[in-house]
Structure 1
Amino acid sequence: MTKQPHTSAGGALSLERLVFFSDAVFAIAITLLVLEIEVPHLPRVQDSAAFVEALRDLTPSFFAFGLSFLVIGRFWMTHHGLMDHVTTYDPRLMWPNMLYLMAIAFMPFSTALLGSNLGQFGPALFYNLTLLVTALLGRLLVRKIEALDPTSETLGREANGANSVMLGAGLSTLLTFVAPAFSQIGMATIPLWIRLLQRGVRK
């Protein structure tokens, strides 16, 4: 027996709870990123050079934090846009959304691993694959919402957002096998992919 969407007041409350829960997961994940940066312990008597050196040692962690903050922000923007198109709660959204959130919640670990081993093949591949899997799960959520409302023409922008992250993460994963230290540059192509995909839709 196929589950039907809930159109009652209870269904509206269920949808609201789903959105609030999702936003909370994003907020916690993005906050945990900075908690993974280890605070340097400096001696009581130290000069400015030692302080600068301690901060310089944290540069890989700062880089990983900034990158993941922007990426999770991009994931949230797509999710936020998708939820704006959902007018009634449907139980079929639950598991695709939960899998997507599971990948988001895993990102602080991948970020810490990358920051502690920046430039190494294994951690770089692990991080990029995490982004790719998260992007694929985001695209799965887009397809599920498209199936629930096939007449919606405004989902194209959100689909393009999900596709652009998927392409950027895929490029980063491929670059890992060529230059692990610079593989994350593939994520910088996301705005380019968005423009190209939007141009294709207009044509």
Structure 2
Amino acid sequence: MMEMTSHYFIAIPVESAQFETVQQSILPYYSYRRVYRRDEFHVTIQFLGGLDQDSLEAVKEITRRVANETKSFLLHFQTIDHFGRPDQPRVLTITPDPSEPLRQFAENLRRELHAEIPQLDRKAFVPHVTLAKKWGKGERTLYVAPTFDIVETVNEVILYEVHPNRTPSYEAIEVFPFKRSEEDLWQSRLKFLT
């Protein structure tokens, strides 16, 4: 029996319950076989695929260093989008507004990872939160998209392992916090002292 290799990816977790609210309000107009759970929502920075132990340790070291050099930032999500045909989209997503801090972080991390592990996936970085995928039957029903403005504070990135036959199918292996501002550090010290 062949042993399955674990697959990994690096992503920003998203926590707002609003993602699920938007997802549930629009799913009746679509037909998907795979609907993501709230605890699976994330913005993928880099899919890593299968890695040996040495490569996995190198990924952790690089991600820790780049996260340490990155300040927390905000992301705004206001747009429903998809990949594939408009009438039967392969993947249903919510996308963030353009963000220079996100672009810069992803570019820095991906550049270092690709230099260390040349065989990594090099698809363009298209930030999104997947709500559902794998089209079922029929065609999409037209509807008026809800308006929303979900604001997420990004202050960490996570290395996940994929478990296709489990629920949830992603397990956090390691969390890499972003650099904290002086103000954050003083606030936490003040809380500790009072």
Taking structure 1 as the reference length, the TM-score comes to: 0.28
Taking structure 2 as the reference length, the TM-score comes to: 0.29
Instruction: Give 1 or 2: higher helix fraction.
Output: 1
Work out which structure has the larger RCO, using CA pairs closer than 8 Å and 6 or more positions apart in sequence: 2
Q: Select the structure of larger CA radius of gyration.
A: 1
